Amino acid sequence: MNKLYIVLFAFVLLCGTTFAKDLSVGYVDMSYILKNLPQYEQANEQLTMLSKRWQKEIDAAQQEARVMATNYQTEQIFLSEALRTEREQEIVKKEQEVLELKRKYFGQEGELYKKREALIKPIQDEIYNAIQDLANEKRIDIIKDRSADPALIYMSSKLDYSDQVLRKLGAK
């Protein structure tokens, strides 16, 4: 029985090394590709502008809530119980509005996420298609992202297809 396992192991090892010799591998640097695509930079600028505009709106609402709370603290002594309760409810309502704005714009399914999907996903799909076309043309079996592979210590420049992907995308 042990001999069978040894023979099977040797066969698998032999087949694995045979298949590995036939594999061709290449790399791309996605961060380099993205930096050199004008449409990606434009999309990022647009997202930054939207983010800043929405953050200003949130900051203004937060400031309004702080002013309401400060005024309440100052006037609290002079207010009736009913007015105190009303003001406290207004402050809580304003703080909830701020939280809702944060969720609306920056939440997991917020406007920024949706806008990023609308602007960046088509660019990523275009890059993926260019990589796939290049792999088919050059008969490359595996293309890895160099920027996402922390274990990669050295790579021959002849295996880097980043510039060729950029040319396929029409970038300079």
Tell if the pTM clears 0.85, that is, is over it. Answer: no
Q: What angle do CA 94, 99, 104 make, to 5 degrees?
A: 120
Interacting residues of 143 by C-beta distance below 8 A, sequence separation 6+ = 25, 26, 27, 28, 131, 134, 135, 161
What are the residues facing 85 on neighbouring strands? Answer: none
Q: Phi, psi at residue 110, to the nearest 5°? A: -75, 180
In tens digits, the chain (172 residues) has pLDDT values of: 556 556 455 555 555 554 555 788 889 999 999 999 999 999 999 999 999 999 999 999 999 999 999 999 999 999 899 999 999 999 999 999 999 999 999 999 999 999 999 999 999 999 999 999 999 999 999 888 888 777 777 777 888 888 889 888 887 7
- 39/29 Cα distance (integer angstroms): 17
